[in-house]
Structure 1
């Protein structure tokens, strides 16, 4: 007798574009940014992926993705499908459009996506889903620490540097 494995049915492994309307879009905003509001689908959840997060996202005119941030352990990417946006990467700002790809290996440089234009920005966003993640919000002096589904945000003392040098 073999052990039962939790394998999605083959119909769950394929998400067809024509079926996107079957699943209601979800909205999400970052609690530290009142201009943040993205809508979309988690394609990875629809297909049962557990180690990757892949999302089809829409950013309305005048809205921002989340908050300028960097990752310590989870790599992330963005791929623009339609519309235009402004990508903040480090201290630079770039206009981005269809076919543009951004990849953020860890530890990542700070990044953020804004839509100051008149048309909706549609993009794929994806990355790793590790058990533990640390993300910094350098413009706010805050740090998020997430373990599993539990997360907390802490103030970062910019003036204190800890040193662990051997004596």
Structure 2
């Protein structure tokens, strides 16, 4: 952020990235915490089309997330439960195990628009209960990724595997 730039962003002015994966996942979204000068708080805006989800069902071990539904309606899959959501609802996703896994699904007829706010941890582990995957990632002090790995526990190795002298 430059010294003359105000720490204000209107999501309507953001350049949104449109992406699609398979038949169920699709969104137009943008991350904009950095535009506000934030380093330790992630902020995003998303628009999910009817019948789609913007991310797989997952839980974080470090980061907490908060979602604010701006317009549309959907279903908040949280742990073993599903909750109807609408404009004005605020959703929490605490860090934890599969009991805090979450995903938003658009069950309405118009795009589901929401803000996502999260801790921007330097290191994170995520689990994906539906697919049995996990994600491990870390970044350096400047925010550049240092390590990112997606796998399944079945691919683990012994602690000493590959070490010199073993």
Does TM, normalized by the shorter one, top 0.5?
A: yes
Q: Deviations over 1:59-94 (max 9, x none)?
A: 111211100000000111111011001110111111
1:119 match: secondary structure:
coil
Quick check: 1:152 aligned with 2:149? yes
Higher strand share goes to which structure?
2
2:33 match: secondary structure:
helix
Counterparts of 1:86 and 1:60 in 2: how far apart (Å)? 13
Partner of 1:93: 82
Please identify, of 113-122 and 7-16, the stretch whose mean Cα deviation from structure 2 is larger: 7-16
Partner of 2:26: 37
Equivalent of 1:78 in 55, 63, 67: 67
After superposing on structure 2, the runs of 4+ consecutive aligned residues of structure 1 that deviate more than 4 Å are none
- Count of residues in Structure 1 that have an aligned counterpart in Structure 2: 146
Quick check: 1:14 aligned with 2:5? no
* TM-score for both structures, normalised by structure 1: 0.78
* TM-score for both structures, normalised by structure 2: 0.79
Counterparts of 2:105 and 2:80 in 1: how far apart (Å)? 14
Partner of 1:62: 51
Structure 2: unaligned runs, 5 residues or longer: 140-144, 155-166
Structure 1: unaligned runs, 5 residues or longer: 1-6, 158-167
Counterparts of 2:10 and 2:53 in 1: how far apart (Å)? 27
Partner of 2:142: none
